[in-house]
Structure 1
């Protein structure tokens, strides 16, 4: 009789007959491990930049004073985009990093001048830097220096990236 009870218990709990649907369960990620992988991939791409094919486009429609978008390709696969956009009183730079899963890291740097850049002796008033660590379709960590109150969502990052990708895809 004990063997029968043990067998029924094993079958009952082994099948998880009353378990919730496993397809809707969110699987937590090991955020520190994912961030270490992102940092490793980021460093590798930057180390190998000189071996990648470069495609640079001048852009005038995306900022007041123009700018430049450069794509870095490894055997035809986009690895990094470096953007620089100029304004009268500053400039914005953005680096987008890609792996086989898509966009995984974004670095943004904004520099503000004390007066328009075309005036003599302009100086840098302040600089902000923001790093976005991305996994799947979400931002898993944001680091800002100095601490910024606004944060881009994954959806906003993708919306910013779309016109840049369109520029690089033009012949």
Structure 2
């Protein structure tokens, strides 16, 4: 009996963790490429049916220096897409938020910078940055910026921005 007990103790001691809970449990990998493929498919489907959706448009004052506009596209009562435009003196930002089952899954942003205030007759776009955020659950699973930029939004920043846009859309 003593030999069996010693043998069991040796086995437990040989294992680095013993009976302790594993400190770094294995991470379940997600198939990012399959999720991105689904996001692209949903994105295309929403844009293909955009003309069939009910559109709700709201002015957006106080959100940017020169104002803006927010448009929501609904399939019955389900929000599918939000298109927002916000103007500044030296540029504008357009953003498209895509939703499925009340969850944000994709954000496309386009930021325009002008060489002089855009209200001047001969102002021209001097720089454009396009950014795509692929979202799954509460995470950004992929982000692409063209041309490259080091300023990328976190999920929390995207969520906060999205909630502010929703509030504008829901104002009466």
The TM-score bracket by the shorter chain reads 0.7 to 0.9
Q: Can you list the C-alpha shifts for 1:35-91, whole angstroms capped at 9, x where unaligned?
A: 000000000000000000000000111111110000000011000000000111110
Return structure 1 stretches of 4+ with deviation > 6 angstroms.
none
Q: CA RMSD in A?
A: 1.7
- The answer as to 2:63 corresponding to 1:62 is yes
Normalising to structure 2: TM-score of the pair? 0.84
2:79–2:102 CA contact under 8 A, matched in 1: no
Does the 8 Å CA contact 1:101/1:136 hold for their aligned counterparts? no
Deviation at 1:145, TM superposition (A): 0.2
Q: Give the deviation of 1:25 after TM superposition.
A: 5.5
Aligned residues: 152
Matches within 5 A, 1:14-25: none
Contact 1:85 1:91 in 2 (8 A): yes
Calculate the TM-score normalised by the size of structure 1.
Answer: 0.84
Matched, 1:41 2:32: no
Q: 1:106 aligns to what?
A: 107
Alpha-carbon offset, residue 26 of structure 1: 3.8
Q: Which runs of 5+ in 1 are unaligned?
A: 1-17
1:130, 1:143 → 2: CA distance?
Answer: 6
1:95 corresponds to which residue? Answer: 96
Partner Cα distance (1:99, 1:162) in 2: 15
How has the CA–CA distance of structure 1 residues 25 and 76 changed in structure 2, closer, same or farther, with 3 Å as cutoff?
Answer: farther
For residue 35 of structure 1, give the secondary structure of its aligned residue in structure 2.
helix
Partner secondary structure for residue 61 of structure 1: coil
What is the CA-CA distance between 1:101 and the residue it aligns to?
A: 5.8
Alpha-carbon distance in 1 for matches of 2:155, 2:120: 37
